[in-house]
Amino acid sequence: MKTVLVFGTFDGLHPGHDDFFDQVKELGDNIVVCLTQDKVVRELKGKDPIEPFEQRKEALKKQSQISQIIPGDLDIGAFRAISIVQPDIIAIGYDQDELEKAITVWLDKYNGDIPVIQLRPFKPDTYKSSLLRK
């Protein structure tokens, strides 16, 4: 049974997220979501999430593909979830280039031999959280 770790804010789930989780499920059976905490969302995006952490967590619990949801670090770049979960694969969204770079640096530093797979977009001109907020 392969464990796949994903990171994200998941602020207002939409069909793009559904496709994201379907793609992740193709990679493994045990899907663990590291959910970004509100404080970190503010630091990274310069604004509060529309939905607070607990509301986003409850929405994710309704996704049948997800096995476990864990809170993200309060320190950007710590990636404790990787050490805790010890995934076989890390999957990231098509638009998470900065996250991919940060994870790669972390893995290089800590000799992590975990493949990082960037998922394909699903109608990015329609189902992107930042577009749906407008």
Question: Does 8 reside within a domain?
Answer: yes
Give Cβ neighbours of residue 28 (< 8 Å, ≥ 6 apart). Answer: 1, 2, 3, 4, 88, 89
Question: Does 84 reside within a domain?
Answer: yes
Q: What's the alpha-carbon Rg for the chain, to the nearest Å?
A: 14
Q: The whole model's pTM is what?
A: 0.90
Question: Does 133 reside within a domain?
Answer: no
| pLDDT value of residue 132 | 45
The residues assigned a catalytic role are 45, 47
From CA 50, how far away is CA 31, in angstroms rounded? 24
Question: Does 132 reside within a domain?
Answer: no
| pLDDT value of residue 115 | 97
Q: Specify the CATH number for the domain of residue 41.
A: 3.40.50.620
Question: Does 79 reside within a domain?
Answer: yes
pLDDT (tens, 9 = 90+) of the chain, 134 residues, equals: 999 999 999 999 999 999 999 999 999 999 999 999 999 999 999 999 999 999 999 999 999 999 999 999 999 999 999 999 999 999 999 999 999 999 999 999 997 899 999 999 987 666 555 544 55
Question: Does 134 reside within a domain?
Answer: no
Please give the tally of structural domains in the chain.
1
Domain hosting 31: range is: 3-126
